Amino acid sequence: MILTLARYNSDVQGVGTFARCMAQNFLDGERVLALDLETTGVSTNDDRIVQIALIGSSEDGGQISYENLVNPRRSIPMQASNVHGIYDSDVRSLGDFSILADEIYEQIEGAVIIGHNVRQFDLPLLNNEFRRLGRLPPSPKVVLDTLEIVRRVKLPRPHNLGALCRKHGISLENAHTAAADAAASLLLFWRLTVDHSPYFRKSLEELERWLVHGDSRSDESNLGRGLEDLDMLDTLGKIRIDDGHYVLAFGRHKGRHVSEIQNIDPKYISWLLSPKGIEDEDAREALRDSLN
C-alpha cells in the first residue's frame, strides 16, 4: 500500500485517524502529535520559525491538524526559501510567534510528540522561541523521535525522512512543507512500531529512555554499542561520539546527547565547558563548536 501525503488534502487531514487505527496499546488515551517546523535556517539558537505543523490525535481520538505560517521578523534567506518554498512575501503581513504561542503551548504540553530529528532540532528551536518571549516552553509527556528509532533498530542508511518514507511505502508529496513532513513522520512511526513491534513492548517512559540511552549491556547485541564502545572525544572518555553526536558518558546526564542537555540543564553545560568539567581543552572547544 502506498500512502500519499499532500498539503491540505484529505490524506493529511485523515492521517491522525489512520494512525490511531494502527496505534499500539501504549498510546491509548494519549494526545499524540507529530511536530515539524520550517525555519530561516538550521541553527536552533539563532534561527526562527516560518511554519509550524502539529498533526495527530487528541486523547479521545479526535483529529488534530494544526498548521500556521509565522512571521520570523527577519528576512528569510534564499537558501532556506529554496528548500521549503516560503518567502518574505508569504509572511510579511502575518503575526509573529507571540500570536501563536498560547495555542502551541496548549497543544504540546503533556502530549506525546513524534517527529524526525525532533529532539535535536525542532523542539530546541521551538523552545528558544518561547524563551525569547520570556516564557517557559511546553513540556511534552515524552518525545518519540523516528530518527532515534531507526538508529536503535539499526536500519541501514540513508536515514533522512524522504528515503525512509520511500523504503516504507509512504509517498511524501510536498516534502519540506511542515504539514506533509509532520504527517509523514507520524506514518513512519506507526510503520516502525508494526515492523519492529518487540522493541515497543515498553511503557512510554521506558520507550523514551531506550531511545535516548539504550538498554542495558545485556541487550547491546540487538540495540547497538554501549557507551564504553563509542569513540572518545576527550582523553578521559567523559564525552563519547555516537554517529556524529556527542554523548555524555558520566554523571547525572549519562547517556544524553550534549545538545539535549543544553536545553534542559544549561547550567550543567556551563560547568561541563569549564576545566572542572572537561579537562581536555580541545574537547571543550569541539563541544562549544557543536552547540553554536
Give 74-99 as a DSSP string: SPPPHHHHHHH---HHHHTTS--HHH
Distance CA 131, CA 259 (A): 17
The verdict on whether omega for the bond into residue 198 sits within 30 degrees of 0, i.e. cis, is: no
* Domain residue extents for the chain: 3-213, 230-291
Other beta carbons less than 10 A from residue 184's beta carbon? 30
Amino acid at position 82, single letter: N
Listed residue (117, 161, 141) closest to 207, CA to CA: 141
Listed residue (171, 125, 96, 116) closest to 263, CA to CA: 125
- Exposure string (b/e) for 8-17, b if CB count within 10 Å is 16 or more? eeebbeebbe
The residue with cell 544549561 is 266
- The beta strand positions in 10-165, using DSSP E, are 32-39, 49-57, 63-69, 112-115, 142-145
Please answer whether residues 169 and 184 qualify as being in contact, where contact means their C-beta atoms are separated by less than 8 angstroms: no
Element (H, E) at 149: helix 146-152
Quick one: pLDDT at residue 235? 82
Cell of 85: 518554498
Long-range contacts of 124-127 (CB under 8 A, 24+ apart): 124/44, 124/259, 124/262, 124/263, 125/37, 125/39, 125/44, 125/47, 125/49, 126/35, 126/37, 126/49, 126/52, 127/263
Q: What is the largest CA-CA distance in the chain?
A: 57
Quick one: pLDDT at residue 174? 63
Q: Tell me the per-residue pLDDT of 94-139, one tens digit each, with 9 for 90 and over.
A: 999 999 999 999 999 999 999 999 999 999 999 999 999 999 999 9
The residue with cell 479526535 is 62
Distance CA 256, CA 209 (A): 10
Quick one: pLDDT at residue 216? 42
Quick one: pLDDT at residue 10? 38
Other beta carbons less than 10 A from residue 171's beta carbon? 13
Quick one: pLDDT at residue 15? 53
Distance CA 217, CA 268 (A): 27
Quick one: pLDDT at residue 6? 37
Positions in the chain whose pLDDT score sits under 70 = 1-24, 174-175, 215-225
Q: Residue 169 phi/psi, 5° resolution? A: 75, 25
Quick one: pLDDT at residue 87? 98
Domain 3-213 in this protein, CATH class: alpha beta
